[in-house]
Amino acid sequence: MKIAVVGSGYVGLCSAAGFASLGHDVVCVDMDKDKVDKINRGEPPMYEEGLSELLSETLKNKKICASAGMESIKSADFIFITVGTPSKPDGNLDLGYVQKASEDVGNFLKIRGYCTIVVKSTVLPGTAENSIIPTVERISGKKAGKDFGVCSNPEFFREGKALEDFFKPDRIIIGQYDDKSGDMLAKLYSSFQCPLKRTDLKTAELIKYASNAFLAMKISFINEIGNICKNLGIDVYEVAEGMGLDRRIGGRFLQAGIGFGGSCFGKDVSALLHKSQELNSRSQILEAVLSVNSKQPTRIVLLLKEKMDIRNKAIALLGLSFKEDTDDVRDAPSIAIISELLKHGCTINCYDPRAAENMRKIFPSLNYGSSALEALNSADACLILTGWKEFNNLSDKDFSVMKGKVIIEGRKILDRNKVSNYEGICW
């Protein structure tokens, strides 16, 4: 099949490289010329496990290429829209990139035959029907369901594991405008070994939001239980393990800590909350999910303040990215923690294996070390903010270079057999 992918963020590029490796001919379209050049040189513009290798392989086999304009797509069976949908300050979605992509696709369709538009960008229920289809029809002068097909095909990729999630998804959701569109997309996915659920467009759009909101709720729930555990001297991880043995609950996404971050959960929950308010049925659960999560990061600072006077002290921060195995600091809990520490005049010595450069753009004047040891050296206290595997190797010997003795982890990663004196935010 011939596939065009409009928007080369991690969702677009990982889907593109995935489809190319399955033998399809893929063109990545992105308005950022610099990104296009990088992709064509085999350099992914973002870090994603295995992507560099897959991109090189598919470029070598001439199965993928990138271009700054739609005119490079000679013919396409599918046009995937994978552009970003950032948040507006009021929590609603900014559909500017989706609108631009719909206009570009409309122009492309003026002179091309039937193809199926597949919306992978995360958009609220009704967006494909009320915004994307009318735009494409207006500009192309063609009719959805007759001259072109439309599907909603939400993705559930985790950053860092996007390729694993592409090749081995838990499920594939296909929202279809009409049977022909859905049949074509189902055929594209026919080699995937997982349940495939077909719905109408707006149901598929909501499945994405409801899934992310539910996962975010699980995290805020276990964080609240964790805060209770902390006061009672109970390890929340034991509680979570006990709960997770009930198959109705399941053990995943019950890791308490400093809260969720990243580009999806906060944005998606806010957008769904905004939608519920628009519909006059304000979601109290979603409000609580966000409220718990906004307070969770700075609880680690409160805990630290119970143990020492932090004014003007040197604090070592290990880990800056919103989770391990990524350089992404968007909505990272570390940002709120750093701001709080700076308010108290703390000197911050931090280390992250990948995210330092991105954090430097937000906080240029922190001391960025090139190893955990460098950050720990002479620090009065240490906070662990990301569960990078390498922190699991830290031992009492490493922490002995600190001036103070307080070590608090915000993600459960230290090894009790190697480090004798530390505690967790909820354990």
For residue 18, state whether it binds ligand UDX (rule: CB under 6 A).
no
**Which residue in the set 142, 158, 180, 360 belongs to the binding site for ligand UDX (CB under 6 A)?**
158
Site string for ligand UDX, 182-221 (x = CB under 6 A): ------------------------------x--x---x--
For ligand UDX, the closer CB: 159 or 205? 159
Phi-psi region of 34 (alpha: psi -120 to 50; beta: other; left: phi over 0): alpha
Does 156 interact with ligand UDX (rule: CB under 6 A)?
A: yes
Q: Is 409 in the site for ligand UDX (CB under 6 A)?
A: no
Q: What single DSSP character describes residue 175?
A: E
The structure tokens 């906004």 sit at 294
Cα–Cα distance measured from residue 321 to residue 363, given in angstroms and rounded to the nearest whole number: 13
Check residue 264 for interaction with ligand UDX (CB under 6 A).
yes
Is residue 261 at the binding interface for ligand UDX, with CB under 6 A as the rule?
yes
Q: Which is nearer to ligand UDX, 158 or 405 (CB)?
A: 158
Q: DSSP states of 78-117 as a string?
A: EEEE----PBPTTS-B--HHHHHHHHHHHHHHHSS---EE
Cα(338)–Cα(315) distance, integer angstroms: 10
Task: Confirm or reject binding of residue 330 to ligand UDX (CB under 6 A).
Answer: no
User: Least distance (Å) from ligand UDX to the CB of residue 313?
Assistant: 26
Please report whether residue 300 would count as binding ligand UDX according to CB under 6 A.
Answer: no
Nearest to 411 by CA among 397, 399, 394: 394
DSSP three-state, residue 302: helix
Judged by CB under 6 A, does residue 410 bind ligand UDX? no
> What distance in Å separates the CA atoms of residue 19 and residue 8, rounded to the nearest whole number?
14
Q: Is 225 in the site for ligand UDX (CB under 6 A)?
A: no
Amino acid at 107: N
From 44-52, 108-116, 155-163, 415-423, give the range in contact with ligand UDX by CB under 6 A: 155-163
* 74 within 8 A of 60, measured Cβ to Cβ: no
Query: What is the smallest separation between the CB atom of 389 and ligand UDX, expressed in angstroms?
Result: 14
322 belongs to the binding site for ligand UDX (CB under 6 A): yes
Amino acid identity, position 331: D
Q: Identify which of residues 176 and 212 has a Cβ nearer to ligand UDX in the complex.
A: 212
193: Cα separation from own chain's centroid: 24
Catalytic residue among 264, 350, 382, 426: 264
* 157 sits near ligand UDX (criterion: CB under 6 A): yes
Distance CA 72, CA 394 (A): 51
Contact stretch for ligand UDX (CB under 6 A) within 27-35, 44-52, 186-194, 249-257: 249-257
| Residue 350 annotated in active site | no
- Give the span between the Cα atoms of 48 and 162, in whole angstroms: 7
Binding segment for ligand UDX among 57-65, 184-192, 252-260, 356-364 (CB under 6 A)?
252-260
Q: Which has the closest alpha carbon to 413: 378, 388, 376, 379?
A: 388
- Count the residues of the shown chain that bind ligand UDX, applying the rule CB under 6 A: 19
Which positions are catalytic?
Answer: 264
